[in-house]
Amino acid sequence: MRYAPQMPFASASNARFAAFASATSVKLLVPAVVSMVLSAALTTGCRTVEREKSAPPIAAGPTAEGMTPPSGRDPATIPPPIEMTVGGPAVVGSTRASIFDSRTVAEQLDRRTFSGPQRRPGSLLPAHQKPTLPTNAPNTLAFGTQREIARTEADPAFPAIGTTVWTPPDPCLAVGPNHIVATVNMKVAWYLKDGTAQFENFLDSSGNPGFFEEVGAGGFTFDPKCFYDEFAQRFVVLALEYYSATQESWITIAVSDDADPNGVWFKYRTPSIVELSGGCRYWVDYPGLGYDGQAWYVTGNLFRLSSSPADCGGFGGTLVRVFEKAGAMSGGTSGGTAVWRDVADPSASMQVATARNAADTARLVYVASNTSLGIVRVNNPLTAPVLAKTTCTVPTIVSDNSAPTPSGSISIVDGRIFNAFVRNDRVFTAHNAGAAVVPNARATWYEVNAAGTAATLVQTGRIAINGTEHTFFPAIAVNNVGAVGLVYGRSSSTQNPTLEIAGRLPCDPLGTLGTSTVVAGGTNSPSGTNVRWGDYFALVVDPADGTTFWGIGEIQSASGWTTEVVSFRVKRAADLNDDGAVDAADLSTLLAAWGNAGPADLDGSGSVDAPDLSQLLADWGACTSP
């Protein structure tokens, strides 16, 4: 069903913002400056996929070096800052829907591109830096590691969105009953689960129109994320916006009208210039995004605007924005007004731990010090949000912000948290963390018991292949039976970045994962000065069965970066009949296949032999928690 478009407006509970709400907003369409895609063959670890052939690209993109992207907003209608206090009461705001029907876009697969050098989104943002992490004396707690035992069964990966004018891609994905939605800098796309592409478009005004253009977005969106809310049965897509000339900052979201991304979306462009005490103004960067049965949660670092007084601190803390679902999902049927509540906290780089079970509530997670994680519960999210914080002691964290490649190195950000989930009051989260003895980046994961007012570490582990390789950008998820999956990258001075997976079952020893599986291998590495990788990967659980994992990450070919989507299951390879136990039936199957290749060849040696029998016996019995 299509709805008549409505002009967006915004309001909030402080006086200056409320006074602005009566003003009429004006949307300015920004001309798209784009061209056609070069044909490019993207090589994965398993196959080569030919992308569509089209006309050569034009010489420069809409944000070529030296150009400033235009805002999509009439300067006279830019709302005033949202006045709030760190640790103070919530500020309430609202924004009316703009309606978008993806079926009206003439070019459903818009794969136009630009020639010339890629740009980092950060090059268009003000200089910004987080505060130094508090440092404690190193402790003697240990990380777990991997065991030489198979735990993952992967389907062939398929290529998703390919290289754009921007780097890094910041890939994210959401999985519904039948579709996969993916986002990168600065595009959105969706697919059937077999990899069939149905839609691909620019998030900013480079589209025709761009995905967020009709709600007012101009020539610069960045740090996109997405999820599928299993409770609401809706997809949600987020992108940040910043425009230096007009000192604008926006958190822009889109909500599908059902579980099928094809068709109507309700768009909301919500202002995010925050004014703290002393007239200090801040913009929002590096978002977190997640949900639970009650609300949708957005977090973002607050960095000082250049127009703020010189004595304002460069870092203002974290903005936590809680969206009510009901109004945002109503779209054009009943006014279509998204209502949100903002609070601010002094901590940095909080990520949202999504809660897929109705009995759980979302948490916020961050690195509190070199020996602790911060765990935050949002109390009263729909009335008067209050952040209840605690910390959890973990093994000493040593950050590493680069990883070697055959072409030099890639930038892998730092030790901030990348993603998180909560199940049965257990928070599962992951980040890059080095080691004091071998200071390589390690994809590191944690399980934290957050049931009460305190938080305690249940287990932790890391992907440490060997002393010369780095692993990075882990994304973690936990499924309905308590199995844990990870997707992450790996590189070395002789190894181009690859995309890999690993997993564990509830019956595995604490702190351990099974062996890694390469799901997509890059043929190149970035070189030169623009070598930013990531800034994050994503992993989610398929709502159709509650057990299959879907991940997205980055590799590189000769034509630039590309993203790969992979689905996999975490299971015991020796459970040959998938009945949840390794027993006599599986032993019978293995013995019948002795000396031959096939599923009973558990170690992939080419034939069923004694090592396979040894692995089966090691996994004997039902899988229960240790």
What six digits make up the tokens of 131? 């505060």
Partners of 343 in the beta sheet?
320
Q: Sorting pLDDT into bands at 50, 70 and 90, what band is 127? A: confident
Mean per-residue pLDDT over the chain, rounded: 88
* 3 state SS of 122: helix
- Mean pLDDT over 60-87 rounds to 78
**pTM, rounded to two decimals:** 0.90
More confident residue, 122 or 224: 224
Q: pLDDT tier at 70 (50, 70, 90 boundaries)?
A: confident
User: Average pLDDT for residues 436-443, to the nearest whole number?
Assistant: 74
Q: Which residues contact 353 (CB under 8 A, 6 or more apart)?
A: 290, 362, 363, 364, 365, 420, 421, 422, 427, 428, 429
Q: Tell me the DSSP string of 60-98.
A: --TT-TT--PPPSB-GGGPPPPEE--BTS--EEEEEE-E
pLDDT of 436 reads: 58
What is the predicted pLDDT for the residue at 295?
Answer: 98
User: Which one-letter amino acid corresponds to residue 605?
Assistant: S
pLDDT at 438: 59
86-95 confidence digits (pLDDT tens):
999 999 999 9
Q: What is the pLDDT of residues 359-418, one digit of tens each?
A: 999 999 999 999 999 999 999 999 999 999 999 999 999 888 899 999 999 999 999 999
What pLDDT sits at residue 12? 47
Confidence of residue 250 (pLDDT cuts 50, 70, 90): very high
CA atoms of 212 and 186, how far apart (whole Å): 11
Q: Is the pLDDT of residue 202 over 90?
A: yes
Determine which of 108-112, 118-122, 190-194, 437-441 has the lowest per-residue pLDDT on average.
437-441
Q: What is the pLDDT of residue 439?
A: 66
Q: For the chain, what is the radius of gyration of the CA atoms? A: 24
Q: What is the 3-state secondary structure (H, E, C) of 361-403?
A: CCEEEEEEECCEEEEEEEECCCCCCEEEEEEEECCCCECCCEE
Report the DSSP pairing between strands 484-492 and 470-478: antiparallel
**Per-residue pLDDT, 331:** 81
53-60: long-range contacts (C-beta < 8 A, 24 or more apart)? 54/111, 54/112, 56/115, 57/112, 57/113, 57/114, 57/115, 58/33, 58/34, 58/114, 58/115, 59/114, 59/115, 59/116, 60/114, 60/115, 60/116
Paired tokens of 412: 């892998």
pLDDT, tens only, 150-161: 899 999 999 999
Cis peptide upstream of residue 36 (ω within 30 degrees of 0): no
- The predicted pLDDT at position 62 comes to 52
Q: How confident is the model at residue 107 (pLDDT cuts 50, 70, 90)?
A: very high
Report pLDDT for 40: 32
Q: In the chain, what's the furthest Cα-to-Cα distance?
A: 79
State yes or no: pLDDT of 434 exceeds 80: no
Gap between the Cα atoms of 21 and 534, Å rounded: 38
Q: Domain boundaries in the chain?
A: 10-571, 582-626
Could you tell me the pLDDT band of residue 332, with boundaries at 50, 70 and 90? low
For residue 72, what pLDDT is reported? Answer: 79
Q: What is 10-571's CATH number?
A: 2.130.10.10
Provide φ and ψ at 336, rounded to 5°: 55, 60
Residues 192, 178 contacting (CB under 8 angstroms): yes
Question: Phi, psi at residue 499, to the nearest 5°?
Answer: -110, 130
Percentage of the chain exceeding pLDDT 90: 74
